[in-house]
Amino acid sequence: MESAVPHCQFLNALFPNVLRFLVPALLLLIFLAPIAQAGDTARIQLLGFSKDGSRFAFEQYGVQDGSGFPYSEIFILDVAKDSWVKPSPFRRQDEVDDSQGYDEEALLAAARAENRAVAQPHLRTSGIAGKGLTVGHNPHSELNSNPHRMVVNPLDMMPPADDPLELQLSEYPMSSGDCASYGAETKGFKLTLTYHGKTRVLNNDTKVPSSRNCPLRYRIERIVTHFPNEAPPVFAVLIQMESHGFEGPDRRYLAITGQL
């Protein structure tokens, strides 16, 4: 049996100019497709609770889409009030001249170190001591989990020594500033916590804060608990938010804290 003519030779024989234009066009589409959806996802480092559970801190950091500028943001929260402890948050973004080369990890490490140096005295004053345990975690890369519901044991004990804790998040359309002019369909969210048979509302947006930068969707990313020896147990819920970005949706974090 004679060997078959390769497909590319067959096409070229019939349409001599097709491959010459088709291949570059396909390569261009492959190159552009991920860029159209690109954005940046902040990484997170939990700095934890103070020993007495009155304060909670975390850092989000990464490299901004579009500009390539490294950034770091450190938040200290009053747990009972669920509010920032001034002068927190500490925000740093370094503009980069890449004409002499560009080492992303080195630049990011430098920005983080500078921001931590500014925040460190306030972290110390707040007594941040790395306390707390992540009892539930749902990253955006986990595709088979429910981004809007999380049920956990607030204590890591077997058998469980406490009732389960349930978080429920719902999203709803909510206009935000000039976001509609960018084509952004912005949303607010409601978050409830059910524990010991009682449900309470942790967040229920009536307007979208401008600091969220045109939020598109939300997910429950993790919950951290801490049981101090001589104070009420506390929690911190991290909400991952997708917002309108330069090259696509950017992912950032919101923290909601309180006593159990």
Q: What is the mean pLDDT of residues 232-252?
A: 92
Look at residue 223 and tell me if it is in a domain. yes
Q: Which residue has the higher pLDDT, 92 or 15?
A: 92
Are 195 and 98 members of one domain? yes
Look at residue 13 and tell me if it is in a domain. yes
Q: Which amino acid is at 190?
A: K
5: pLDDT confidence band, cut at 50, 70 and 90?
very low
Look at residue 156 and tell me if it is in a domain. yes
Are 121 and 225 members of one domain? yes
pLDDT of residue 248 exceeding 90, the answer is no
Look at residue 79 and tell me if it is in a domain. yes
Sequence-ordered list of residues with C-beta below 8 angstroms from that of 252, at least 6 positions apart, any chain = 42, 60, 213, 240, 241, 243
pLDDT of residue 90 exceeding 60, the answer is yes
Which pLDDT does position 159 carry in this prediction?
Answer: 77
Q: What is the mean pLDDT of residues 44-68?
A: 95
Are 15 and 130 members of one domain? no
pLDDT > 70 in the chain, percent: 85
Look at residue 1 and tell me if it is in a domain. no
Look at residue 240 and tell me if it is in a domain. yes
CA distance 46 to 89: 14
User: Whole-model pTM?
Assistant: 0.82
Owning domain of residue 135: 43-259
